[in-house]
Structure 1
Amino acid sequence: MTFTLTSNDITDGGVLPDAQVQAKGDTSPHLAWSGAPEGTKSFAITCYDPDAPTGSGFWHWTVANIPADVSEIPTGGPVPAGAVEGRTDYGAPGFGGAAPPPGHGPHRYIFTVFAVDVEQLDVTPDNSGAVFGFNLFFHTLAKATITATYENKG
């Protein structure tokens, strides 16, 4: 079985809806996944913009320690009990919507769900996307993505 990610709100290859844009809705999208590999003990979610003019991209959402019996996050959350939302590059935990600089061109927003081989990653709400990513590097069994774009034409 293939590990897959789907959404009622965002489409792979599509344009990010206004609800997921910071100035227009700032709402986390619905995400659902299936086909997790054997040995999955938890899940994690990230949303990352590799096109941000920072030299290191921009983390819009990090969530870890989602229990293995959960396979869906509703639009706007909440994340399940026990899950940890990390600090985005906006400076606070939780989802932060798209906000590329005006006229910078289209940015990619990569939503990824990770099947993780431990129940708990050693992360806190104060940790950055880089810390979440470092921990995920050592514990990812599989991942599935949806990539949408958004452009602020100013």
Structure 2
Amino acid sequence: MRTAPECATTATLDLRAPAFAHGGPIPPRHASRDLGPHISPALNWGALPEGTAQLLLVMEDIDVPTSRPAVHLTALFAPDTAGFDEGELTADNPRVRHVPGPFARTGYTGPRPLPRHGPHRYGFHLHGLDRAILTTTPLTGRTDLPALVAGHVLASGFLEGVHQG
């Protein structure tokens, strides 16, 4: 989503994770079930631009050997959310509307690089939208989002972590 033309903006958001620095290793506790406890990292961000109506958070495996990054999380939530505590990005969190990922999964899915594939970069993308995607709007997957956010991204933040299986 970070490089999608529909998300283009020059305004930035400061996105941080207390557990790892930008470009640093993602701790094993935030890896997928077979590599770690599978707990979402805490995330926080700075001030949002005036007029932010909703936030969109996407986590992608940038280095998966496919034509598009593999999506590990897609979540919509209210702009009064100042961040998430560790383990809060679960499928049953009532403050979050999860967009189904591969195999209709929702909630956080931690890093899990392919065996013997080396380190993978995982991008956390936060977008401030000037209009909310209504709960009545059907969302069947990530491919629904570009058309819905086109022209409505006020600012974006990017945090990258690395994990090796």
TM-score, structure 1 normalization: 0.85
Q: Which runs of 5+ in 1 are unaligned?
A: none
Which residue in 2 is equivalent to 1:58? 70
Which residue in 2 is equivalent to 1:35? 47
Percent identity of paired positions between Structure 1 and Structure 2: 25
Paired residues of 2:133 and 2:148 also in contact (CA < 8 A): no
In structure 2, C-alpha distance between the alignment counterparts of 1:10 and 1:28, rounded to whole Å: 12
In structure 1, C-alpha distance between the alignment counterparts of 2:70 and 2:113, rounded to whole Å: 10
Q: Which runs of 5+ in 2 are unaligned?
A: 1-10
Opposite residue 78 of structure 2, the aligned amino acid is P
Describe the shift of the 1:135–1:20 C-alpha distance in structure 2 as closer, same or farther (beyond 3 A): farther
CA RMSD of aligned residues (A): 2.2
Paired residues of 1:40 and 1:118 also in contact (CA < 8 A): yes
Describe the shift of the 1:56–1:30 C-alpha distance in structure 2 as closer, same or farther (beyond 3 A): same
Larger RCO of the pair (alpha carbons < 8 Å, separation 6+): 2
In structure 1, C-alpha distance between the alignment counterparts of 2:69 and 2:12, rounded to whole Å: 28
Superposition deviation, residue 121 in structure 1: 4.9
TM-score, structure 2 normalization: 0.80
CA displacement 1:34-81 (0-9 Å, x = unmatched): 1211111111111011211222220000001x1121111111115764
Which of 145, 157, 160 aligns to 1:132? It is 145
Which residue in 2 is equivalent to 1:146? 159
Opposite residue 124 of structure 2, the aligned amino acid is F
Q: Is residue 73 of structure 1 aligned with residue 84 of structure 2? A: yes
In structure 1, C-alpha distance between the alignment counterparts of 2:130 and 2:25, rounded to whole Å: 32
How many residues of Structure 1 are paired with residues of Structure 2 in the alignment?
150
Which residue in 2 is equivalent to 1:6? 16
In structure 2, C-alpha distance between the alignment counterparts of 1:30 and 1:131, rounded to whole Å: 27
